[in-house]
Amino acid sequence: MSLWLNRIQPLLLLLSVLLVNVLFSYFAPLEQVSIAPSVLFPVVSLMLPLNLFLWSILPEKGVQNRSFNSLVLALFVLQAMFVYWLMSELPLQWIEWISLPVLSDLKLYHLSFASSLAFLFAGFVLSLKLNYEKQLRVFNHSVVFILLLMAFALNQYTQDGVLAWVSSVVGLIVILSLVFDAHHIAYTDELTGLKGRRALNESFMGLGKRYAIAMVDIDHFKNFNDTYGHDAGDKVLKIVASILDTVQGGKAYRYGGEEFTLVFANKSVDKVSTELERLRVAIANEVIYLNPKSNAKSTKNKTDPKSVSVTISLGLAEPDVDHSSPSQVLKFADEGLYKAKKAGRNKLVHSVSKPIRATAKKSVKK
Ligand SMILES: Nc1nc2c(ncn2[C@@H]2O[C@H](COP(=O)(O)OP(=O)(O)OP(=O)(O)O)[C@@H](O)[C@H]2O)c(=O)[nH]1
């Protein structure tokens, strides 16, 4: 899955967990005299959280970045050499230091002080990182949970099968988190954070007989892009999307480009017009600062040359005799949008089928 999704972090995480399992099975204490577990346990339980931390903190470079892959390989080889050296040379001071228990008389707690500290440090820093990250991924959250699980498994490693079972659960968590992330990427528009066209089409399946659809388009957006640049255009798209996302009783989608769709399930057009008017006015009144240093939202200084505002046009429709399916209603709403543009923009137009046409069709059917 990592290869398929071009993500190296999950692969490295699982490789580290796998290596811990291999090391413990290979050096399993067959005889009490074996010195291996007493050295191996503190070393491995210290290195695992540091590895999980390292793989999560390094930037995701995909699976085909040769220099990054070489760096990762070098890090693994260095660690293997370090463990081998510890096992063979046994520098006692080191071993004593990393084996230092949290409390000397704790029978149920096996993790050393150094290892516990490493788990705490990794969990704390990764949680902080999650707080500041803009694009949250389920996988990133799952790493914190995996740290917790592995701390538990290593603490119980003397009990048969615990490490193997927990490691399998970790594998499952990684797979599930990747599936969630892939789903999120497929359905969410990266720029605005709104759901995209695929999600919109799927929402149509859940609509009953009564619903309303509005098509929204930013006015003169080409002009805006040409005057202020594509980055400023992107900023406007984000702000407009965030206002549309506050819609009450409906859901906002990015239809594509500078067009958005609002779907109101179980609502008639009369019930949603006021809400659409509120959104139209809110967007027209929003002062957008193009200077990156003054992102503060304020409506005080409307004459600031670096502050701009945009307007939207909207078309609204609901099912009727001529437009029975959601995609037909959407096209009908788009016709309303076209009329709103022609009528001078910054307007809401409600598309209504001509009554004569509807009656004529009914009589033909009869
Ligand atoms: N910055 C930015 N621009 C986009 C994006 N997607 C589409 N556009 C731009 O949106 C503009 C759409 O322009 P038009 O369809 O000609 O319409 P308009 O200028 O909004 O004019 P009216 O709809 O008639 O008011 C084009 O210039 C596209 O390049 C995007 O993701 N980011």
Residues 215 and 261: beta-carbon distance below 8 Å: yes
Exposed, middle or buried by CB within 10 Å (0-12, 13-18, 19+), for 194?
A: buried
Q: Which residue has the higher pLDDT, 42 or 318?
A: 318
Name the average pLDDT for the chain: 87
What angle (nearest 5°) sits at the alpha carbon of residue 156, between those of residues 155 and 158? 115
pLDDT at 42: 86
The interface predicted TM-score (ipTM) is: 0.94
So what's the pLDDT on residue 364? 41
Res 77: pLDDT: 92
With H, G, I as helix, E, B as strand and everything else as coil, classify residue 192: coil
Please tell me if the CB atom of residue 241 comes closer than 6 angstroms to any atom of ligand 1: no
Mean pLDDT of 88-106: 76
Instruction: Provide the pLDDT confidence category of residue 33 given band limits of 50, 70 and 90.
Output: very low
**Residues in Cβ contact with 130 at an 8 Å cutoff, skipping those fewer than 6 apart:** 136, 140, 141, 144
Q: Would you call 258 a catalytic residue per the annotation?
A: yes
- 265-311 tens-digit pLDDT: 999 999 999 999 999 999 999 999 886 544 444 444 444 457 899 99
Supply the pLDDT for residue 355. 57
- Report, in angstroms and rounded to the nearest whole number, the Rg of the chain calculated over CA atoms: 30
CA-proximal residue: ligand 1, atom 6 (nearest): 257
Question: Which atom number of ligand 1 is nearest to the Cα of residue 234?
Answer: 1
Distance CA 54, CA 300 (A): 47
Query: Residue 79 burial (CB < 10 Å; 0-12/13-18/19+)?
Result: middle
pLDDT in tens, 212-238: 999 999 999 999 999 999 999 999 999
Partners of 140 in beta bridges: none
- Catalytic site residue from 89, 133, 258, 277: 258
pLDDT for 280: 97
In the structure encoding, which two tokens stand for residue 139, read together? 């996988």
Question: Whose C-alpha lies nearest to ligand 1, atom 7?
Answer: 257
Ligand 1 atom at shortest distance from the alpha carbon of 313: 25
User: What pLDDT was estimated at residue 253?
Assistant: 98
pLDDT at 59: 87
Sign of torsion, CA 112 115 120 123?
negative
C-alpha–C-alpha distance, residues 263 and 249, integer Å: 9
pLDDT on residue 173: 97
pLDDT band at 88 (very low <50, low <70, confident <90, very high): confident
| Residue 191 DSSP class | T
| Ligand 1 geometric centre to CA of 298 (Å) | 26
Is the CB of residue 341 below 6 angstroms from any atom belonging to ligand 1? yes
**Listed ranges 26-35, 87-96, 294-303; the one with the highest mean pLDDT:** 87-96
pLDDT band at residue 358 under the 50/70/90 scheme: very low
User: What pLDDT score does 135 carry?
Assistant: 65
pLDDT for 356 equals 47
Query: Would the pLDDT of 329 be above 70?
Result: yes
pLDDT over threshold 90, residue 31: no
Nearest CA, atom 21, ligand 1: 220
pLDDT on residue 29 = 54
* pLDDT tens-digit map of 123-152: 999 999 988 876 668 999 999 999 999 999
Q: If you average pLDDT over residues 346-355, what whole number do you get?
A: 85
Residue 177 C-beta-side C-alpha neighbours within 13 Å: 24
What CATH superfamily classification does 197-365 receive?
A: Reverse transcriptase/Diguanylate cyclase domain (3.30.70.270)
Ligand 1 atom nearest the C-alpha of 237 is 32
Q: What percent of the chain has pLDDT over 90?
A: 65
Q: Domain ranges in the chain? A: 2-187, 197-365
Q: Between 49 and 24, whose confidence is greater?
A: 49
More confident residue, 102 or 364: 102
pLDDT of residue 189 exceeding 50: yes
Give the separation between CA 189 and CA 198, rounded to whole angstroms.
Answer: 10
What confidence category does residue 67 fall into, taking pLDDT thresholds of 50, 70 and 90?
very high
344 touches ligand 1 (CB under 6 Å): no
* pLDDT of residue 360 exceeding 50: no
